[in-house]
Structure 1
Amino acid sequence: MSATAPGEEPGPHGPLPARGEPATEAASDAARAAELRLLPVLLALTVVSGIIDAVSFLGLGHVFTANMTGNVAVLGFAAAGSGEFSGAHALVSLGAFLAGSAAGGWAARIFAGRARRAWLRAAFTAEAALLAAAAAFSATAPETAAATEYTLVAVTALAMGLRNATVRRLGVADMTTTVLTMTLTGLAADSPLGGGRSVRTVRRVGSVLALLAGALLGGWLVLRHDLWLPLLIAAVMSGILVPTVSGRV
């Protein structure tokens, strides 16, 4: 790995060009513009994450399939003897998420020599397809069967793992689409209250509100309808992003 040279700024895909040189500064500005164009896409994906975690936590046995930090805690609660949480559900979710993340890593490498939009289209198409499959399975499978819960946990966690690997490779600051701990930390630490200058406040607040909105929508649907409906809405939202992302990267 090459070190950052004097005058360069560290970026998500390596050092950004040094300021002051017209050609390299133009490239740097173009990269920042592309990042800004991706923000609406990542905010929409954050809404989807809220929906998916509402489905999994409220409808699939108190387990997360997007937020793996919570899942590790759930695994600990179950191991401690809490009857409200299932260690088996948490393990299935973690395993499927890791498998999806590995697949996302391979996909990024396979598409490395092609336009970035082709890679993102493939990743978002796969996510939408997995969520659509989960919706279809939920609509047709016996609701009370344990196999139904495990299958839905595995498929949605697989989709979220794939997405997380993709978003991680994009490297857009404060836009993980699934976890908010560091986003909230940055929001407070970089605020005037923390002696900072409110860096990236809009996107940080937007990310928090997007996850909250997704959880609210997903929770409302899970409590009043069958699981297939919020899963279908999540699949449609991910699918809409397939053509949308082409004009933003």
Structure 2
Amino acid sequence: MTTPKTAEPAGAGPDPEARGLRLVVVLLTLTVVSGLIDAVSYLGLGRVFTANMTGNVVVLGFAAAGAPGFSVPHTATSLGCFLLGAVVGGRVAARFRGGSRRRWTRLSLAAEAALVGLSAAVAFAWPRDAGAAYALIALTALAMGLRNATVRGLGVADLTTTVLTGTLTGLAADSLLGSGTGHRSPRRTASVLAMLAGAFLGAWLVLHHGLGLPLLLAAVGSAVPAVTASGRE
């Protein structure tokens, strides 16, 4: 006699939030993208940052003081668009807070990939146009503001994706020469190396191939997590 199958209790299936790449892997990938984008902006758009706003505030001070090689309009454009992107990201975070982190992450990264992809198209179409520089600054800064608001809302420790001051401080403070705890050292080290790799690759591409190719690669680096990210750390 065949024993009838017992029905599974409701909610016993696999957690949909767990499907896809862990957020730690996603954020490390995005850290590489940040290195690419800041290489493009700093080396190719007049010594301005569009991902690292800490450096950008300092650059704005340099420009305002009249230091050669820096531009107040370029830097102000970057800061303004970054803040606008962060406002949009904050609204999205408020909409999804308490809901699906997987869906929220993927939606935000899809928007980032679209903005960076559009900037790549501009760079390929008008590689030497002065007006295009403002478009590239605005698009990439807007994308990075949106992403930073999303990453802030996700709250994954030591993976901000755009700045490393706190990460390096924690790495040194918790090292054997510091407190000796080694707390999250592998994650912090991976974050530093990811940013370094992105900056190196981005600089090499800018110097040898212009701005379009590193921006296209950055768009792909955002698009892949946009369709593969999970909601789990």
TM-score, normalised via structure 2 length:
0.88
Mapped partners of 2:227, 2:72: distance in 1: 38
Mapped partners of 2:217, 2:186: distance in 1: 26
How big is each residue's C-alpha offset from its partner over 1:50-108, in whole Å with a ceiling of 9 and x where there is no partner?
00000000000000000000000101111111111111111000000000000000011
Query: Which residue in 2 is equivalent to 1:128?
Result: 113
Query: Which residue in 2 is equivalent to 1:231?
Result: 215
Mapped partners of 1:195, 1:114: distance in 2: 37
The one-letter code sitting in structure 2 at the alignment partner of 1:161 is G
- The answer on 1:162 being equivalent to 2:162 is no
The one-letter code sitting in structure 1 at the alignment partner of 2:56 is N
Higher relative contact order (CA 8 A, sep 6+): 2
Mapped partners of 1:235, 1:244: distance in 2: 15
Q: How much does 1:38 deviate?
A: 1.4
Query: Which residue in 1 is equivalent to 2:80?
Result: 95
How big is each residue's C-alpha offset from its partner over 1:121-149, in whole Å with a ceiling of 9 and x where there is no partner?
110000000000000111112x3332111
Q: How much does 1:247 deviate?
A: 6.8
Q: How much does 1:113 deviate?
A: 5.4
Give aligned pairs, total.
216
Q: How much does 1:248 deviate?
A: 4.5
- The answer on 1:244 being equivalent to 2:228 is yes
Query: Which residue in 1 is equivalent to 2:52?
Result: 67
Mapped partners of 1:104, 1:93: distance in 2: 16
TM-score, normalised via structure 1 length:
0.83
RMSD: 1.8
Query: Which residue in 2 is equivalent to 1:119?
Result: 104
Mapped partners of 1:189, 1:113: distance in 2: 33
- The answer on 1:186 being equivalent to 2:170 is yes
- The answer on 1:201 being equivalent to 2:185 is yes
2:125 to 140, 156, 167: 140
Mapped partners of 1:179, 1:247: distance in 2: 23
Unaligned runs of 5+ in 1: 1-29
Unaligned runs of 5+ in 2: 1-14
Mapped partners of 1:78, 1:196: distance in 2: 41
